[in-house]
Amino acid sequence: MTRPTRIANRISALRTNAGQMSQAELAARVGVTRQTVNAIEGEKYSPSLEVAFKISRVFDVPLEDVFQYPDLRDRP
Amino acid sequence: MSNILYTAGQFLHPESDGHMTFQEKSTLAMTGIVVLVYGWYFTLVIGEIAGSPDREVAYQGLMVPVVILLVILAAAAHAVIAVTAPSQAGVEDERDRLIGLRGQRIARYVLATGTVAGLGLAMGRADTFWIAQVLLGTLVTAEIAEGTTRLVLYRARSLT
């Protein structure tokens, strides 16, 4: 039922750069629970596009600066 | 109650930070209550009432205290959960909804299987007492399956 998500992210680093923003503060600004931010950051849950965009706007960076998806065409 | 839920969370997934969302606490509490209350009901019904000559009346009479007990325990559990974390009370986000849907999908298979079993008993002209127990057992099993699935998914290494 569960398989590892391939979507990586830099949320932890971005929070640190944003004045040690807490997961709870990010969660409140995005409109999800702190546990969901924790799951996204730990790459246990891939957020919806809407939440992904909201996160990138909190840090004022493009979406791909927050989330990265590997190019599978490079793999054998 | 809050400490019990925290400890349960750590036991289920020791790598997690242990804190549960309102929905996860609610699911854990309701699954536990359903197991306890219907465990008591089926122990009585299968153990003693099934052999009684007036079992049709007895099991229907038992339904009333079962429903009252469920309502009281559910209300008390949710009141405690809400009081211990008022800011989270009733909060549900997209991850909660996805986990809920996955749980319902598993429960649907249990309901379908139990319904077929109930139909089979009806077509075989089984006693209505046993048809009722199979149908009720199906509802309870589906509820437990849904709750268990949700609890596992809340603590899963990945939810995609």
Residues of A in contact with B102 (CB under 8 A): 1
Q: CA torsion B38→B40→B41→B42, rounded to 10°?
A: 90
B19 in contact with A, Cβ within 8 Å: yes
Average pLDDT score over residue span B97-117: 97
> What pLDDT, on the 0 to 100 scale, is given for residue A6?
78
Average pLDDT score over residue span B56-81: 93
Per mean pLDDT, which range of A61-75, B102-116, B127-141 is the poorest?
Answer: A61-75
> What pLDDT, on the 0 to 100 scale, is given for residue B4?
53
A8 in contact with B, Cβ within 8 Å: no
Q: Reduce the DSSP state of residue A31 to 3 states and report it.
A: coil
Average pLDDT score over residue span B30-39: 97
Q: CA torsion A43→A48→A50→A53, rounded to 10°?
A: 30
Q: How much of chain B exceeds pLDDT 90, in percent?
A: 69
> What pLDDT, on the 0 to 100 scale, is given for residue A56?
98
Q: Is pLDDT of B160 > 50?
A: yes
B131/B112 Cα distance (integer angstroms): 15
* Reduced 3-state DSSP string for B88-114: HCCCCCHHHHHHHHHHHHHHHHHHHHH
Residue pair B93/B23 in contact (Cβ under 8 Å)? The answer is no
Average pLDDT score over residue span B59-80: 94
Q: Is pLDDT of B16 > 70?
A: no
Residue pair B135/B118 in contact (Cβ under 8 Å)? The answer is yes
Q: Which are the contacts of B105, defined by CB distance < 8 A and separation ≥ 6?
A: none
Instruction: Please give the ipTM for the structure prediction.
Output: 0.85
Q: pTM value?
A: 0.83
A38 in contact with B, Cβ within 8 Å: yes
Q: Is pLDDT of B151 > 60?
A: yes
The CA distance from A12 to the nearest CA of chain B, in Å, is: 16
A12 in contact with B, Cβ within 8 Å: no
Residues of B in contact with A46 (CB under 8 A): 159-160
Q: Is pLDDT of B11 > 50?
A: no
Q: Is pLDDT of A51 > 90?
A: yes
Q: Nearest by CB to B95, which of A2, A5, A36?
A: A36
Q: Nearest by CB to B19, which of A35, A44, A51?
A: A35
Find, in chain A, the residue whose alpha carbon is nearest to that of B90. Answer: A33
